[in-house]
Amino acid sequence: MIVGERIRLRAVSREDLPRFVAWLNDPEVREGLELYFPLSLDFEEKWYETMLNAPVDERPLVIELHIAEAWVAVGNCGFHKIDWRNRSAELGIFIGEKSYWNQGYGAETMRLLLKHGFETLNLNCIFLRVFSTNTRAIRSYENAGFIHEGQMRQAEYINGAYVDVLLMSVLRSEWDAA
């Protein structure tokens, strides 16, 4: 477990798959994600089998909140594309339980992943990509300490229009200084 103040990050298990399917088929949740085709449980089960063979540091983690003496699963996060030579990695997150949006859990999850990435995995640069239209996510990442690094113009086609994709990152030196 990776444990924070209000949240903990745990490994994904097969029992999580039905809730992943429900979350990732919710149009509001997937609006900020690179998903555009409905997901089935069969597909998710295949994804799970593949994921079990992924490098351990790149496996996704379930975000759990401590609510009324119980741990409640609300979303998913993790590193992908870890580049060990350059010590950089991309991360991603979604909170599928929308009633928990806007309460700082996203920023707290990101801070926990940054701590894990810098202080356990010994990374030097942690970055993410976010649609310029995803203003909630951008604000949450800024609150977690991410710096605006650049912009890929018209990089995604969503709902009949091109949107820019922002690159945001945190360097190890910035994390140490903070």
Ligand X SMILES: CC(C)(COP(=O)(O)OP(=O)(O)OC[C@H]1O[C@@H](n2cnc3c(N)ncnc32)[C@H](O)[C@@H]1OP(=O)(O)O)[C@@H](O)C(=O)NCCC(=O)NCCS
For ligand X, the closer CB: 52 or 170: 170
Taking CB atoms, the residue at the shortest distance from ligand X is 106
For residue 85, the tally of other CB atoms under 10 A from its CB is 5
Q: Which is nearer to ligand X, 58 or 156 (CB)?
A: 156
Span of 41-49, 80-88, 97-105, 168-176 interacting with ligand X by CB under 6 A: 97-105
> Is residue 134 at the binding interface for ligand X, with CB under 6 A as the rule?
yes
CB of 144 to ligand X, least distance (A): 7
What residues contact residue 90 under an 8 Å CB cut-off, 6+ apart? Answer: 79, 80, 81, 126, 127, 128, 129
- Residue 135 binds ligand X (CB under 6 A): yes
Picking from 139, 47, 136, 127, the residue whose alpha carbon sits closest to that of residue 98 is 136
Is there binding between residue 76 and ligand X (CB under 6 A)?
A: no
Q: Tell whether residue 152 is a contact of ligand X (CB under 6 A).
A: no
Which lies closer to ligand X via its Cβ, residue 29 or residue 73?
29
Shorter beta-carbon distance to ligand X: residue 110 or 123: 110
106 binds ligand X (CB under 6 A): yes
Q: Based on the shown chain and the rule CB under 6 A, indicate whether residue 29 belongs to the binding site for ligand X.
A: yes
Reported in sequence order, the residue ranges of 35-123 that DSSP labels E, i.e. its strands, are 61-67, 70-83, 88-95
Q: Residue 112, SS3?
A: helix
Neighbours of 98 (CB within 10 A): 12
